[in-house]
Amino acid sequence: MSKRPASTETFDPAIASKRPKPPSGITMALERIQLEHIPQSYRVYGALFRDVSNASFLQTQLISRNPEFEYAFIDASTIVSRAHLLAAVWNAVYTSVEGNLRTPNVHSEVVASLNINNNIADGYRRWGITPDKTKDLVVVKILSSPETLSDVEQQKEAEEVWAHLTAQIEGRPVGLIDGEIAQVTDWQKVRKYYKLNGVPVLDQMKDDTEKRKRTESLAIMGMALRGL
């Protein structure tokens, strides 16, 4: 298989870091995530916070439907990899574009999309933020507007999101990358939630990297086949 054509825009963190930093001087660990097959007018931002100490407060904001807290808050221990997370994000955005949301909004849809069955409450409970339990938190923010934003507007938007997140989340921001995610994954939980205990293909595998890759594929497949 050939590489994607050179004209393709892919997100390059190295380029992003050359952009103007937020005025506060905080290094921005918020990433604009590029997804394919969704309208350009959608912007998806993601971040990972370690050692979060105010999960209860954050969950309360979600439950009270505080309009300032329109985020997908995901317990990072249930995430296998970046691709696993993005599969759920993509599904939520696609579902929203198609007008088939099963939950109140696109952010809750991200959490529900991580589930392999159609029980929405169950999805929130397992993959969502849990008071006193969630220590590491993935945050996803999805925005859309009728027109595509200019680079300057988009940068401003990202900075606003980031400023709000860092003001409200008591935790340590790190990059939303496989290396960081792997440190917080709870494999027992993942195997239970995705019904992977006793799956022959995983039991046969010795190599850890290979095993993680397979687990990622199986989780994504489980999500894609939800309800079947």
Partner 1 sequence: MTEPATEFPPPKILTLSPTHKPILITQGAEGRLYKTPSPFQPNQFCALKYRPPKPYRHPILDARLTKARISSEAKVLDRCYREGVPVPAVLAKDAAAGWMMIEWIEGEPVRVGINTWLGERPEDDAVVDTSQEDETPLIDLMKRIGVAVGALHRTGVVHGDLTTSNMMLRPWADDRLPNGHGSTSERAKAVAGDVIVIDFGLAMQSQSDEDRAVDLYVLERAFASTHPRAERLFHHILDSYREAFKKAPGVLHKLEDVRMRGRKRSMLG
Choose between 30 and 220: whose C-beta lies nearer to partner 1: 220
Residues 4-23 touching partner 1, rule: CB under 8 A, are: 4, 8-11
Q: Which of 34, 54, 144, 168 binds partner 1 (CB under 8 A)?
A: 34
> Which CA distances in Å does 224 have to 93, 118, 163, 204?
14, 12, 34, 24
Q: Does 206 engage in binding with partner 1 (CB under 8 A)? A: no
Q: Which of 26, 172, 201, 210 binds partner 1 (CB under 8 A)?
A: 201
- The pair of three-digit structure tokens given for residue 150, joined into one six-digit string: 């200019």
Q: Which of 16, 97, 120, 149 binds partner 1 (CB under 8 A)?
A: 97
Q: Which of 28, 30, 38, 184 binds partner 1 (CB under 8 A)?
A: 38
Query: 107-111: long-range contacts (C-beta < 8 A, 24 or more apart)?
Result: 107/70, 107/71, 107/72, 107/140, 107/141, 107/142, 108/72, 110/72, 110/74, 110/140, 110/142, 111/72, 111/73, 111/74
Q: Which of 14, 15, 23, 37 binds partner 1 (CB under 8 A)?
A: 37
Choose between 10 and 150: whose C-beta lies nearer to partner 1: 10
Residue 113 CA to residue 103 CA, distance in Å, equals 10
Choose between 22 and 46: whose C-beta lies nearer to partner 1: 46
Residue 107 CA to residue 91 CA, distance in Å, equals 11
Q: In the block, which residue shows the tokens 């963190």?
A: 13
Closest distance to partner 1 from the beta carbon of 45 (Å)? 15
Residue 75 DSSP label: E
Question: Would you tell me which residues interact with partner 1 (CB under 8 A)?
Answer: 1, 3-4, 8-11, 34-40, 83, 86-87, 89-91, 94, 97-98, 199-201, 204, 217-218, 220-222, 224-225, 228
